Amino acid sequence: MRITPLDIQQKQFSSRLKGFDMEEVDSFLELIREEMEELLRENANLREESKRFEKQLKDYKNLETTLKDTLIGTQQMVEDYKKTAQKDAELLRKEAELRADEILKSAQEQVVKIHEDITDLKGIRRHFKEELKRLIESHLRMMEFDKEREEESPNEV
């Protein structure tokens, strides 16, 4: 059985001969009642405060869980971004290498074509020189032929 401040206040003692001073007993009981009321209020306040702290602790634990989940999610997202960036960089590097190979191949083909053109032009030049030489020689022969004819018949011009 729990004793309440009301129990203390309403408690009656029987009197006997040579008993206690009733005023002193009543005064002491009143003091105890007041102390007990104060302790009960304090206890109720502490329970309320304890409930608030428990709720706050629960909220903090929920927040901690949320933050951990967010951190893990963020770390995973960063890892995914890194992997994607590495794949993109690798793809760009390979594309650049392929493009460089194409450019190099094209340049080599142009060099070969230029060498072929040079060879063709040298052949054309040689052929032109030979034709020019034949033409000049032909004209020289014609001039010699004309000269011989003039010498054979000087008066017939």
Residue-wise DSSP of 27-72: HHHHHHHHHHHHHHHHHHHHHHHHHHHHHHHHHHHHHHHHHHHHHH
Are 30 and 9 a contacting pair, CB within 8 Å?
Answer: yes
Range of the domain at 42: 21-152
- Number of separate domains in the chain: 1
On whether residue 99 sits in a domain, the answer given is yes
What's the pTM value of the predicted model, to 2 decimals? 0.45
Q: What is the mean pLDDT of residues 99-103?
A: 96
Specify if 56 maps to a domain: yes
Please determine, for residue 147, whether its predicted confidence score (pLDDT) is greater than 80: yes
In a domain, 11, yes or no: no
Q: How confident is the model at residue 30 (pLDDT cuts 50, 70, 90)?
A: confident
When pLDDT is averaged across residues 84-102 and rounded to a whole number, the result is 96
In whole angstroms, what is the distance from residue 46 CA to residue 38 CA? 12
pLDDT of res. 1: 54
Question: What is the distance, to the nearest Å, from the Cα of residue 46 to the centroid of all Cα atoms in its chain?
Answer: 50
Q: Which amino acid is at 106?
A: S
5 domain-assigned: no
pLDDT tens string 102-124: 999 999 999 999 999 999 999 99
**pLDDT surpassing 70 at residue 93:** yes
* 3 within a domain of the structure (yes/no): no
Residue 138 lies in a domain: yes
What pLDDT band is residue 98 in, cutting at 50, 70 and 90? very high
The answer to whether residue 7 is domain-embedded is no
Is 1 within a domain?
A: no
